[in-house]
Structures are given as structure tokens and as C-alpha cells.
């Protein structure tokens, strides 16, 4: 039955639902007709998407390694993207034939120094897939390596110059880089000399007594992390420098590539490092890479759309976002496009089962025992539907978000050595929890960086959430207070603003009239087994004990009209706080303040005494979203009138209709009603082209679609 339906889609057979749809002035008439991909050389990136000659957004979905055969009815050719390996001059699969390999074995100073962790694909460790089992871990500061990289680039340039379907060229991805060679040390000292006017100024920040910059050496690492007694201020500067010098290297590689081919968009990156406890040893700052290197945003994040929201927010302009090798399950693929990826290459459709790496067969669609035929059917349907619904999908990232989560580079870099390999930190955990608590609000969620705050971008948002950003520069805190005083609203989650970027105490809560009397930290009860991450690095998660506490809310401020009584729950450390003259909005069961409202100027600052469980964040943010006046064009509500959770549902309003997407993230069937503050003519499921008789929606497990809600016409 499923194969017959897909055949009908391809053949564009007449359909009663399609015939009943009339043309609409903002989109073409809907039908099951699936347009062929236009010649890729005709596509141009503009305002966040590839666009055809008429200016319509085109969504591209390919499958690793499908370049020919009947599956091209469903997928774009995989070879429209290329990883050229120009960052290091080769990969773990072909390095033995590269000039870099000869240079590595022939010259002094070509080997990485002072680092015993993962090579970051530059180039390979002895346990890597492909080629001889040996360490070929290069130093990018070596002039011999640089010359060899340029030679490799010229040798392989025909691979991208002669590909008529090539839409983007990846210099390399899943990258990480750190090196402590003499050249790196000198570059670090020069960077410090530009940052600090005198060595005395540096000594104040580092609590050191250097007589000159020439005495300084980068902090040491051992076992893939800084040593336990590292100078935290010096480590912060070294990690910050490392992101700067690696971005500069990528910029140099790009310029050399453009001497050969100036047309094909270029990108590089290491997406997963942006939300990793080990970021400070990776050299990755996607905010720098996106804005200084990428022509298209490289997002090789796999499952969660949180990275899409983050990377789009960090970009200073709207760029195409591409996913070159998307792992994860076959579920919720449409959601990836709806969060801004306009070009996805899915892992994978193997030609035959792997004999060497048999575990990989479970991720190959035709060979897996875990991927059902129904799942494969849905993947094929997505391949067709994103082609015909490209303009509708693009609508959902056209409007900018009004809620921002603080992405603090300082808190990402400034991690205690013992937590570097933990996989996460309290700050990263809260980023994810806050984002999860926000994704069901029915509005777009964004991020704001420290750099963007200093550029006066905070005023673009109605609500700021600060998720346990423990290490923050004082000027960022000052800007946030000014934002609130000017009428903004902020939620501060502990332990935010405790230290500056150099790990020196800030004591900002005193300025808010809130006293911190004591802190109860979760007990460490163990560690998990060491595991290999998506990007090939390793981590060992720390397991904390349970410190959940029930929270009873008052009938004041945002809670005055809510039906929340004692439904909020804390999750993590507990602060015993003295609220001073500020208003207590919620208390723990022992009567201690849990949520305090500080009114600053024209705005409101909500200070939490503990992080919350994700569901409690959702309830709190739902009330705040209403309070700050963020309008949801469409709301999805359960039988009690509350926002549905478990499915992302978000709408955008246009002149004569609404577009609404719904994506069920669970293995259960979900039901909800669509609430629209307007009279409506009809609701159509744009994937099935079936009319919805009322506003009641039933979503099957992992089901996802886009609805078109026609407004009632005025005559």
C-alpha cells in the first residue's frame, strides 16, 4: 500500500483534495506534484536558503552515498557536497598518498606538541579507521606542513572544480586543534601583548608576577585536559587564543582555495564542540567560523535542533545552513528542515553491508534490523515532500526570535580541569534544559552571545534567559542590567554571575539586593564508563545525586492568574537566599525563597534559587512569554487548555492564512486542538492534502506535518 501511494506521488496522479485547493497569492497551488531539482549550478544562496531562478527556496535532501539509480527519484545526488580535506591536506583514508604525509615524516617540527588527546581529524590517531595504524597528528604552524597542504590542494582541486552539481565545499568537519609547539607559544605571547597593554595588567588578571611577556608559557595539559593545578585565568586566555589562531588558519586555507575556485561556497567547523565541556581544548568557536570563514553554515550536529537554533543565532547575516552527514534516527527529519537546515545529507543508504565495521550496518537503511519499513517509507516521503513544500518550510525561520538564551563563551571555556572530559557542565546542562523547556512554547527560540550583547543586540529580544552562566565578564552583567532597566525581562538561573572570565569573584547578587547565605551542592555519586562521542572525542559523565525540591508558587505577578499551585520542581544545587526588599514569588516547602522578583528601572529580573526540571521551565516560561507580550499566531492546547508538550507546534501568520508545523517527538499518539485568534475557512494537511474537519489534531508516533489554515475571507 505504501509503495502504491509513493508511486502516485511520483506520477502526480489526480487527487480529490488537491483538486479542491484554489491558488493562493502567497504560494503556488498545492498538489502532489513533486518538482524535479533544478540544475544545482542555477541555485543561489540568498536570505538563508538556496533559491531557484524565480527566487523560491529549494530544500535539498540527499542520502549518503546515493549518486545514481532509482533512488534519485527521492533524493538529491550526494555528490552535491564535497569534503575536500584541505584543512590538513588529507584524511585518515588517503593521507599516505598526500604530500603532507611525506612532509610529516621528513621534517622536524611537523608533529603536534604537548597534546595527548584526540587528533580532531588533523589527521589521524593510530586507532582511526582507514590506512595504516599509526599516529599522523600534524602541527598546522609548521611551514613544511603548510606548503604540503597547498600542494595537496592543487593536486585535488579538480575534484571540486569539475563537479557540475557541487553546491558547497567542506574544508573539513568534526575539527579540533590544539598545539603547544614553540611557534604556538610565540603566537600566544604576541596575542597577549595585543590584548594587554602591559604585562602588569596581565599579572592583575592572572594573579602572577611575570616581568615580561617573553617569560610566559601556555598552561600544560595531560590526559587530554589541563593539569589539575592550572592557572584558571591563564587557561582561559590560552583557550581563547586557540580559537582565534585556528579560525585565522581556516581563513588562510579558504583564501588559498579561492585562488583556485572563487565560485563554490566554502565552509568548515566542529559543531558539537559548542556544547561540550571540552570546548576549551578544541580551538572551535563557531561564532568566529560562521562570520569569518563560512559561506554556508556547516551544522554537523545530528539529532537535536538545538544546534540549528544556536548557529543561526550566532550568524550576523542569514546564510544557508547545511548538514553534510546527519546521523541519528530516521524520526523527525522534517523538523530539522523547519529549524533552518536547508540542505541535509542523511547517513546512510549502504550499497552493501560493511564487513569490517558491522555496527555501522544498524544505521544503514536497507540493512538495519532496527529501522522499520515504515520508517524507510517516511524517509522516502520526506525526500519528496521537502521538494514540493520548500517555500512553506522556509517561512518558519523568516521571523527572528524574541526569546534569547545566553550563550556565554566565557562559561564554555572556563571549565574546571576535572570537568573537561565530563561531556557536560552545569552551564551546558542548563542550556539544554532551558531550551527543552522553551521548545513547546509555540514561538521561535534563539540565542545571544557575549559578543552580540556588547554589540547592543539585547534590545532585539523581549525575554532573556541566563542558564547558570557561572563565568561572565563584568561588562556583560552590566549590559544585562541596563537591558532590564530599559524595560527588558530576564530570568537568572544559579549559579550565574558568580565569577568573571578569569574565575575571580563578582558578587553581583549583592547589587541586586539579594544575599546568598549558603549553597547545597548535589553529591557526586559516581562516573559513567568512558564513551566515544559523535565527533570521535571521548568523555566520562559525572553522576550527581538527587536534590529535587517541590516549589509552591504565590498568587503574585506572573502567577496571579495561573493554575500552578505546587507543580514546580527544582533540579540541582540549592541557594539559601535573603531576598532583601525584593518580592518573593515562590517558596520551597521549608519556606525558603525559590523565585524572587527584582524590579530594576522599567524591567523585571526573576532570580531563581535553584535550576528547575525541564517541565517546570516550560510552565514558568509559558507565563513569562504571555507577560512580555510575545504573540503566538497559533497555539496547540491539550484538553485542559494548556500548551501541548511532546510535540513541537509553531505557527506563522501571513496575509490570508497561517502555516503551522507539528512534529511529534514521542512514540505515543498525541492529540491537541489548534487555537487561532481569527475566524478560519479551512485547515489542510499539506503533506497528505487532506482537509481537517475541525481544529482537533491527532498526530501518530513521530508524525510530523505542516498545516495551512485559511482565514475567513472578508467580502
pLDDT-derived band of residue 27, with 50, 70 and 90 as boundaries? Answer: very low
DSSP-based three-state secondary structure for 341: strand
- Altogether, the residues listed in the chain come to a count of 715
- 529 has a pLDDT exceeding 60: no
Cβ pair 245, 290 in contact under 8 A? no
Higher pLDDT, 275 or 30: 275
Per domain, the residue ranges of the chain are 81-327+336-348, 403-627, 634-711
Q: Is the pLDDT of residue 526 over 60?
A: no
Q: What is the pLDDT of residue 684?
A: 97
Helix (H, G, I), strand (E, B) or coil at 306: helix
3-state secondary structure of 178: coil
pLDDT of residue 123: 95
Average pLDDT over residues 608-615: 97
Supply 226's cell numbers: 589541563
The pLDDT confidence band at residue 153, using thresholds 50, 70 and 90, is: very high
The C-alpha angle 8, 11, 17, rounded to 5 degrees, equals 55
Residue 23 is predicted with a pLDDT of: 38
CATH code of the domain occupying 403-627: 3.40.50.880
Helix (H) or strand (E) holding 251: helix 232-260
Tell which residue, 194, 211, 202, has the closest CA to residue 234: 202
The answer to which of 131-135, 246-250, 458-462, 465-469 has the lowest mean pLDDT is 131-135
Give me the pLDDT at residue 29, please.
Answer: 54
Average pLDDT, the chain: 91
At residue 635, the pLDDT reads 96
Give me the CATH topology for the region 634-711. Immunoglobulin-like (2.60.40)
For residues 111 and 106, give the distance between their C-alpha atoms in angstroms, rounded to a whole number.
11
Grid cell listed for 199: 604585562
| pTM > 0.75: yes or no | yes
Give the model confidence (pLDDT) of 307-333 as tens digits: 999 999 999 999 999 999 999 899 999
Residue 524 or residue 270, greater confidence: 270
In CATH, the number for domain 81-327+336-348 is 3.20.20.80
Q: Which of 78-87, 231-240, 263-272, 349-358 has the lowest mean pLDDT?
A: 349-358
Span 53-104, pLDDT tens digits: 999 999 999 999 899 999 999 999 999 999 999 999 999 999 999 999 999 9
Amino acid at each position: 500500500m505504501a509503495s502504491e501511494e509513493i508511486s502516485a506521488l511520483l506520477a502526480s496522479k489526480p487527487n480529490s483534495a488537491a483538486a479542491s485547493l484554489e491558488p493562493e497569492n502567497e504560494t503556488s497551488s498545492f498538489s502532489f506534484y513533486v518538482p524535479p531539482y533544478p540544475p544545482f549550478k542555477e541555485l543561489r544562496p540568498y536570505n538563508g536558503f538556496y533559491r531557484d531562478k524565480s527566487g523560491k527556496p529549494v530544500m535539498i535532501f540527499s542520502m549518503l552515498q546515493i549518486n545514481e539509480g532509482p533512488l534519485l527519484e527521492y533524493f538529491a545526488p550526494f555528490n552535491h557536497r564535497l569534503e575536500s580535506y584541505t584543512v590538513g591536506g588529507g584524511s585518515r583514508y588517503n593521507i599516505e598518498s598526500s604530500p603532507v604525509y611525506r612532509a610529516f615524516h621528513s621534517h622536524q617540527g611537523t608533529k603536534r606538541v604537548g597534546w595527548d588527546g584526540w587528533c580532531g581529524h588533523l589527521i589521524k590517531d593510530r586507532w582511526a579507521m582507514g590506512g595504516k595504524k599509526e599516529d599522523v597528528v600534524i602541527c598546522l604552524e609548521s611551514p613544511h606542513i603548510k606548503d604540503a597542504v597547498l600542494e595537496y590542494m592543487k593536486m585535488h582541486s579538480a575534484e571540486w572544480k569539475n563537479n557540475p552539481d557541487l553546491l558547497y565545499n567542506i574544508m573539513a568537519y568534526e575539527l579540533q586543534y590544539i598545539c603547544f609547539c614553540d611557534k604556538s607559544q610565540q603566537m600566544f605571547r604576541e596575542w597577549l601583548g595585543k590584548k594587554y597593554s602591559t604585562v602588569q595588567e596581565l599579572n592583575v588578571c592572572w594573579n602572577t608576577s611575570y616581568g615580561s611577556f617573553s617569560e610566559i608559557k601556555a598552561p600544560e595539559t595531560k590526559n587530554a585536559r589541563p593539569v589539575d593545578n592550572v592557572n584558571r585565568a591563564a587557561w582561559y586566555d590560552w583557550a581563547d587564543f586557540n580559537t582565534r589562531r585556528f579560525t585565522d588558519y581556516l581563513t588562510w586555507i579558504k583564501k588559498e582555495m579561492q585562488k583556485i575556485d572563487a565560485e563554490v561556497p566554502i565552509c568548515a567547523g566542529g559543531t558539537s564542540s559548542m556544547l561540550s565541556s571540552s570546548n576549551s581544548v578544541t580551538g572551535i568557536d563557531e561564532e568566529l567560523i560562521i562570520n569569518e570563514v563560512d559561506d554556508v553554515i556547516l551544522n554537523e550536529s545530528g539529532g537535536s535542533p538545538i544546534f540549528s537554533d544556536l548557529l543561526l543565532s550566532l550568524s550576523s547575516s542569514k546564510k544557508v545552513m547545511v548538514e553534510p552527514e546527519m546521523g541519528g534516527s530516521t524520526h523527525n527529519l522534517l523538523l530539522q528542515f523547519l529549524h533552518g537546515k536547508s540542505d541535509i545529507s542523511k547517513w546512510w543508504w549502504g550499497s552493501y553491508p560493511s564487513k569490517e565495521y558491522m555496527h555501522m550496518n544498524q544505521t544503514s537503511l536497507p540493512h538495519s534490523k532496527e529501522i522499520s519499513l515504515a520508517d524507510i517509507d517516511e524517509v522516502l516521503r520526506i525526500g519528496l515532500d521537502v521538494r514540493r513544500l520548500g517555500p512553506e518550510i522556509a517561512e518558519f525561520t523568516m521571523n527572528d526570535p524574541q526569546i534569547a538564551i545566553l550563550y556565554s563563551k566565557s562559561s564554555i571555556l572556563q571549565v574546571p580541569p576535572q570537568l573537561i572530559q565530563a561531556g557536560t557542565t552545569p552551564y551546558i546542562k542548563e542550556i539544554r534544559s532551558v531550551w527543552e523547556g522553551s521548545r513547546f512554547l509555540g514561538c521561535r527560540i534563539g540565542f545571544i552571545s557575549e559578543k552580540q550583547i556588547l554589540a547592543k543586540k539585547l534590545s532585539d529580544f523581549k525575554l532573556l534567559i541566563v542558564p547558570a552562566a557561572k563565568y561572565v565578564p563584568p561588562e556583560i552583567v552590566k549590559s544585562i542590567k541596563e537591558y532590564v532597566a530599559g524595560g527588558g525581562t530576564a530570568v537568572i538561573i544559579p549559579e550565574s554571575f558568580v565569577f568573571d572570565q578569569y574565575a575571580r569573584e563578582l558578587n553581583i547578587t549583592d547589587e541586586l539586593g539579594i544575599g546568598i547565605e549558603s549553597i547545597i551542592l548535589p553529591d557526586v555519586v559516581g562516573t559513567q564508563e568512558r564513551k566515544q562521542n559523535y565527533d570521535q572525542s571521548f568523555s566520562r559523565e559525572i553522576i550527581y545525586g538527587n536534590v529535587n525540591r517541590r516549589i509552591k508558587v504565590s498568587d503574585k505577578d506572573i502567577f496571579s492568574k495561573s493554575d500552578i499551585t505546587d507543580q514546580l520542581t527544582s533540579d540541582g544545587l540549592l541557594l539559601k537566599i535573603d531576598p532583601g526588599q525584593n518580592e518573593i514569588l515562590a517558596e520551597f516547602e521549608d519556606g525558603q525563597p525559590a523565585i524572587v522578583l527584582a524590579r530594576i528601572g522599567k524591567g523585571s529580573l526573576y532570580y531563581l534559587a535553584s535550576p528547575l526540571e525541564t517541565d517546570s521551565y516550560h510552565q514558568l516560561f509559558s507565563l513569562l512569554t504571555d507577560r512580555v507580550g510575545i504573540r503566538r499566531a497559533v497555539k496547540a492546547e491539550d484538553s485542559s487548555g494548556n500548551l501541548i508538550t511532546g510535540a513541537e507546534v509553531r505557527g506563522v501568520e501571513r496575509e490570508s492564512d497561517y502555516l503551522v508545523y507539528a512534529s511529534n517527538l514521542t512514540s505515543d499518539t498525541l492529540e491537541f486542538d489548534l487555537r487561532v485568534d481569527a475566524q478560519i475557512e479551512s485547515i489542510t494537511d499539506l503533506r497528505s492534502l487532506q482537509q481537517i474537519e475541525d481544529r482537533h489534531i491527532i498526530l501518530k508516533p513521530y508524525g510530523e506535518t505542516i498545516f495551512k489554515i485559511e482565514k475567513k475571507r472578508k467580502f
